[in-house]
Structure 1
């Protein structure tokens, strides 16, 4: 305890925080200062996390875990890495969570040159952390970077950044069964550029926030509205990659739908306006008997990591899974509908409204959704043995 206290006071002195605080304090909210301490010097504000500080596996931040939603909770650290002029990323480092500085002419601000990912860390009962398929997020970011004319860090660099971010913010990972730590890697054009062209400099950063249910309905079935006026993505566009430019355009339709009491919006293809694409923030599946169908990712639909995982899990459970074009009319014939995504997990859909007609679906016990969700979460949290090599454990 003496050695640990010395390390703690060394850390708080480097942060400029009153050293009267004790690492054994029950009021763990005092650590919130890590993300808000001001520094007159940008370099001083980027001091890396001290490896000597040994956070106990079962220490927790001062959070009401029972009422956790899907909103930003400021944590302690973020990870930052810059891209040099030769297109190679330098060694990244952990910095205290805080604002970043951008030139007004930065490519991301003027031309939307940026992509992002989303993954989660779960806490096991023994205190260790589990990451779910971070290599898939890394490879998807590489594909997205190529589409957006950006250099990309390697898969190993990406995974290392995610691991460091999770470890440094470990006390913000909810207790088992209370949620997860949502980790958001971002790659953005941070260099100044006036004419339309790729940015001359890039920044990769990763931050995190503890979360629970994405939708305000919690685990209750969603009520979805089929959008016919606005498109989410068009053929030849960037709908198949996770660029930031895909999301602001859906806000108009989403806000309108929510004002009418709907949970989210289901978009149709931009060419024929008759085939299912995806929901604003997740992929969609329909179930008819033993057959589960989902729209094929043909360039306008994001290839979700959760989507890919659920397809494999469903086949393991004996379902026939089809990736194909799905006409909107098939919604009236489906027994069950559900959505998948890193943020939403596997969410049941209770109803879909299309052209004024409300179609209702089976939910709850005996349906595919809870069965698939239970298996997915079991693997993600370590309650089910990982036989697929999907889990990365951090002690």
Structure 2
């Protein structure tokens, strides 16, 4: 199906940053995509317009009941000036899974993919070319019906904005210290932990503040029932190399099905490295550290791709992992995924989508 998306180009282009070592999510491009929903018309009026504030009624349900979901993915500029997106279909699938959990109407996934392509092509001159840089893409849905009543909204906006992002690691991928959270809970099975919704992130801010005050970069979340099974690290999925096997928490309904997580599992299997998706207790990790079988640990996510874990603190005991340096597997995974994303390495999985330059010309 062919979708026609009207484009209103800005009359006041912003100055592009002189360099791309920007703080994540602080520099936005010239345009945005908007799609409206109401109960009578369904999703309608797709359009690309100049980046601008949006006007909402103070009673809009998103402010009062948190009915909102979002995604995050990236576009890359290759050395030969091709534009690539990494696994956008996976993000779009997950966006609708989050929609269903939050009682938001499904989006047409083909239309969303076309909108992603077209907004990136409109602002293609913003895509940075330096190693480690990219154009971050943030699709999101908000409930806009101005009614104070606890029920699903009858009106929504779906939007896409773009942000120029520099290398997540200014000086290479270095291991971070992690505080194992003993008090706060991120999510429980049956809740919204497997949806990408704002409340999940707001619920983690207090624990993150306290971990930061203790000198740690992130928290390692334990399950909300037994308080012993590992779930995520910060807002990332987490992996442990125990001996020759890599293990990661199974998707149990409270863990986000990360696109990078899925990519890492496929990559490891492609390399013949054993991977297990199962319940992992903090006690098992402590014992593995004491026995010397805990070789590496790392988080995975869109922003950083790989975030090596150099130490864990649990019940006043600090566990240094891999002598506190980035492990061989962490580096290998990072180099492989970023190489595929930027078109430097072969993509045996069909992960990247190339945006046709012929389409770019019509947006000039």
Counterpart residue number, 1:149: 103
The 3-state SS of whatever aligns with 2:203 is helix
Task: Tell whether the 8 Å contact from 1:267 to 1:280 is kept in structure 2 after alignment.
Answer: yes
* Structure possessing the higher radius of gyration over alpha carbons: 1
Unpaired segments of 5 or more residues in structure 1?
A: 1-10, 18-30, 34-60
Q: Number of aligned residue pairs: give it.
A: 342
Instruction: Write the distance in 1 (CA, Å) between the matches of 2:107 and 2:131.
Output: 33
Written as runs of structure 1 = structure 2, the 5 A alignment for 1:239-254 is: 239-254=193-208
Task: Tell whether the 8 Å contact from 2:310 to 2:325 is kept in structure 1 after alignment.
Answer: no
The 3-state SS of whatever aligns with 1:152 is coil
Task: Tell whether the 8 Å contact from 1:32 to 1:74 is kept in structure 2 after alignment.
Answer: no
* 2:251 pairs with 1:269: no
Cα distance change on mapping 1:195 and 1:218 into 2, 3 Å? farther
Q: Please give the TM-score of this superposition, normalised by the length of structure 1.
A: 0.83
The 3-state SS of whatever aligns with 1:90 is strand
* 2:343 pairs with 1:382: yes
Task: Tell whether the 8 Å contact from 1:180 to 1:212 is kept in structure 2 after alignment.
Answer: yes
Instruction: Write the distance in 1 (CA, Å) between the matches of 2:145 and 2:44.
Output: 15
Higher RCO by CA contacts (8 Å cutoff, separation 6 or greater): 2
**Greater mean alpha carbon deviation, residues 92-101 or residues 301-310:** 92-101
Instruction: Write the distance in 2 (CA, Å) between the matches of 1:116 and 1:217.
Output: 29
Counterpart residue number, 2:56: 102
Counterpart residue number, 2:259: 305
The 3-state SS of whatever aligns with 2:42 is coil
Task: Tell whether the 8 Å contact from 1:188 to 1:203 is kept in structure 2 after alignment.
Answer: yes
* 2:296 pairs with 1:336: yes
1:193-225 CA distances to partner (integer Å, 9 max, x unpaired)?
Answer: 211001110100000111134478862111110
More strand by share: 2
Match of 1:120 among 56, 74, 77: 74
Match of 1:230 among 160, 184, 197: 184
* 2:127 pairs with 1:173: yes
Match of 2:87 among 111, 120, 133: 133
Q: Following TM superposition, where does structure 1 have runs of at least 4 consecutive aligned residues deviating by more than 3 angstroms?
A: 213-218, 363-366
* 2:317 pairs with 1:357: yes
Unpaired segments of 5 or more residues in structure 2?
A: 1-7, 289-293, 358-364
Q: Shift in Å at residue 387 of structure 1?
A: 2.2
Counterpart residue number, 2:306: 346
Q: Shift in Å at residue 176 of structure 1?
A: 4.0
Q: Shift in Å at residue 282 of structure 1?
A: 0.5
Instruction: Write the distance in 2 (CA, Å) between the matches of 1:383 and 1:69.
Output: 25
Counterpart residue number, 1:372: 333
Counterpart residue number, 1:111: 65
Counterpart residue number, 2:14: 32
